[in-house]
Structures are given as structure tokens and as C-alpha cells.
């Protein structure tokens, strides 16, 4: 004998239309949730949560010197995230921006490493252009494998980042190592004309920040006002419909990855020609991975990404402060970044879906 019984199970049901207000407030809710979760973590670690929050979220705004460092950090995060977001909206997931960032730094460094005595105002613009080309070329490897061989672009781009890191190590421990650098894995210091001009006197913020803002405006125009951007978005939202309309998937993959690689390579070039002033192993600082969080936290929208890049830069600088003043380990800062992305994804899930309890009938033995 058996009998039927009823049970209620939670089910996510897609909303017909996501609320614009809820979409805009989701990042703020995610930030509050992430702060609350990490406060609990700091208490369990035996740290003073008030001191940590003060150092991480308030100290970056207390002096112009600290805030200028926020702007310096926000530049590469913003630039890379804008490039990645274009691909993400087309459902092309470039996870290898870190490798493209490294290749951009390597390509840009070739000029001052090979021609250390060169002079002229043409050097730093040429370095930025060469770095952008390097990043795009590295991304083209992923595009080729994805289009021609149907390889997963997530895995290919991620693995290529590891290859890029090893290429950087080889150069700095081998042919590009500074002979007068006391055996440190770094290149020669770049000459004056190979450095991007300072934008704000007394700070490390340079002209590349203005370039980043200009490209952010260009990203908005491209995605919101151009036919090519419209085609990419349609391809991401409705690939079958895009196929019927004649939009080619391979073309979208190539374009998305090249744009992302170009932006990441340009950011890498600006890093070595800006605050670093030479090619170092520390150039692989995780900007490419953090920019993924920035892109999603900004809702993959160019304007939202500007705000989220500033938030992430504050966490970077505030985390450095907390490591000194509150004895916070660097791993805790990375946990904060990861929990912020997780909280945002959960918040967005409830913006796009609603939770319903539905009856599920099942037979049970009697």
C-alpha cells in the first residue's frame, strides 16, 4: 500500500520584468551584507571590528594623499572592467584579463628595455598603444581556440593567465633582468620620457586616468548607442534570435575578447609606465581578477562600473590601512572582495527571480 502526500518546496520563478529600483539598489544591499559578514569574521579572528571598518572604509577619505591612491587603484580596475563587461553582456566570459594585463605590461616595457637611451614625448604614448596591442593579441589566442576549436573560453583564458605569469618570470629572471638591480627580478628603471605624465601635482595619479574616463564614455556610447553594441547584447540575451537575424556568434566572440584584451593590455601598460616605472613581478597584482567583481558589481553597465571601481579601490587602499593599523591579514581583504561578489549575485538573483513555495506531490510507502 502507498499513499500520496503533499510537501511544499521552494522554487525560484523568473519575474516578467525586473524592477529598475531593485536593480540599482542591489549593489548597495550586497555591500551592506558583505560588511556584516566580514564584521562577524573579524570578531571570530579576535580583531577589533570598529578599528577594521574605520581603517578600511573611512581612512581612504580622510586625506587627499589617501584618496589620490584610491583614484590610482580605480584606474586599472575601471578600464579592465569596462572591457570585460562588453564581453560579459554578449555572454563571452573572458576570465583571463590578468594574463592580458601582464602581456600589456610586457609589450609596453619592450621599448624602454630595448632602447633605454631613447628620448622624446612619443615614448609613453607608444608604450600604451603597444601594451593594448599585446593584450589584444593574447586575448586572440582564446578567441581562436573558442571559435575554431570550440574550446571553453573560461578555461582557456584562465590557463593563459598562468602562462603569462610564467613568461613574466622568465623575462625578469633572464634576458630582461636589470644587471645592476642587486639580483632582484626586475627590469631597468624606465627613462623620464617613458613615464606617463602626472595629472595631479603631488600625487601618483597620471594622465592614464583621463584616458580611462574617456574610454568609459566610449564604452557607454558603444553599448547604448551603437548598432554593433546592440548586436552584441542581442547575441547574449537571445542567441537563437540573433542567429536568425544574421548575427554571427564567431564575430561576437572575436570582438568581445579583443576589446577585453585591448583594455586589459592598456591598463598593464599604464601600470608599468605609471606608478611602477619598471617591469616587476608585482605587476601581476590581481587587477584582472578583481575587475570581474567590479564589472558585475556595476551591473555590467558603464556608469555603474565607474562607481563599483571606486568602491573596490577603497577596499584595496583601506585593506592596506587595516593590515597596518588593525593587524588584518591580506587574506581577509581578499575574502571581503569575494564575499562582496557572492552577496551581489545573491541579491541580483532575487531581483530577477521571486521565491515561491509550491506543492510537490510524492508517493510514500504506508
C-alpha cell at 171: 623575462
Closest CA to 334 of 286, 279, 300: 286
Q: pLDDT tens for residues 31-59? A: 999 999 999 999 999 988 889 889 998 99
Q: How do residues 145-162 score in pLDDT, each as one tens digit? A: 999 999 999 999 999 999
Contact (CB, 8 A) for 322 and 333: yes
* CB-based burial label for 334 (10 Å; 0-12, 13-18, 19+): middle
What angle do helix axes 287-297 and 97-114 make, rounded to 10 degrees?
A: 130
CA distance 13 to 353: 5
- For 81-91, the pLDDT digits (tens) are 999 999 999 99
Question: DSSP string covering 12-55, please?
Answer: EEE-SS--HHHHHHHHHHHHHHHHHHHHHHHHHTT--HHHHHII
d(CA 99, CA 116): 25
Total-model pTM: 0.91
Distances (CA, A) of 8 to 173, 178, 356, 364: 62, 68, 9, 15
Amino acid at each position: 500500500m502507498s499513499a500520496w502526500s503533499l510537501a511544499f518546496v521552494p522554487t525560484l520563478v523568473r519575474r516578467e520584468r525586473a524592477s529598475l529600483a531593485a536593480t540599482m539598489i542591489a549593489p548597495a544591499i550586497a555591500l551592506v551584507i558583505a560588511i556584516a559578514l566580514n564584521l562577524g569574521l573579524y570578531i571570530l579572528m579576535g580583531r577589533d571590528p570598529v578599528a577594521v571598518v574605520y581603517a578600511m572604509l573611512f581612512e581612504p577619505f580622510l586625506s587627499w594623499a589617501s584618496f589620490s591612491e584610491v583614484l590610482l587603484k580605480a584606474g586599472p580596475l575601471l578600464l579592465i572592467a569596462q572591457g570585460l563587461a562588453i564581453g560579459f553582456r554578449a555572454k563571452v566570459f573572458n576570465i583571463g584579463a590578468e594574463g592580458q594585463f601582464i602581456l600589456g605590461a610586457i609589450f609596453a616595457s619592450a621599448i624602454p628595455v630595448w632602447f633605454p637611451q631613447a628620448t622624446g614625448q612619443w615614448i609613453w604614448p607608444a608604450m600604451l598603444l603597444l601594451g593594448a596591442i599585446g593584450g589584444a593579441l593574447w586575448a586572440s589566442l582564446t578567441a581562436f581556440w573558442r571559435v575554431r576549436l570550440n574550446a571553453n573560453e573560461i578555461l582557456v583564458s584562465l590557463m593563459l593567465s598562468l602562462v603569462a605569469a610564467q613568461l613574466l618570470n622568465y623575462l625578469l629572471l633572464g634576458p630582461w633582468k636589470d644587471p645592476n638591480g642587486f639580483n632582484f627580478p626586475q627590469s631597468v628603471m624606465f627613462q623620464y620620457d617613458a613615464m606617463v605624465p602626472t595629472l595631479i601635482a603631488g600625487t601618483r595619479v597620471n594622465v592614464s586616468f583621463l584616458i580611462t574616463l574617456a574610454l568609459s564614455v566610449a564604452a557607454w556610447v558603444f553599448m547604448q548607442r551603437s548598432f554593433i553594441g546592440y548586436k552584441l547584447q542581442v547575441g547574449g540575451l537571445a542567441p537563437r534570435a540573433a542567429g536568425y537575424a544574421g548575427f554571427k556568434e564567431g564575430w561576437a566572440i572575436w570582438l568581445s575578447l579583443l576589446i577585453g584584451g585591448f583594455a586589459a593590455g592598456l591598463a598593464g601598460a599604464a601600470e608599468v609606465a605609471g606608478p611602477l616605472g619598471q617591469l616587476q613581478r608585482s605587476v601581476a597584482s590581481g587587477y584582472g581578477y578583481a575587475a570581474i567583481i567590479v564589472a558585475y558589481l556595476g551591473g555590467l553597465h558603464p556608469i555603474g562600473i565607474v562607481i563599483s571601481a571606486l568602491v573596490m579601490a577603497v577596499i584595496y587602499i583601506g585593506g592596506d590601512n587595516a593590515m597596518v593599523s588593525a593587524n588584518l591579514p591580506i587574506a581577509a581583504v581578499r575574502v571581503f572582495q569575494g564575499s562582496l561578489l557572492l552577496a551581489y549575485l545573491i541579491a541580483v538573483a532575487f531581483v530577477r527571480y521571486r521565491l515561491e513555495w509550491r506543492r510537490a506531490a510524492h508517493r510514500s510507502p504506508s
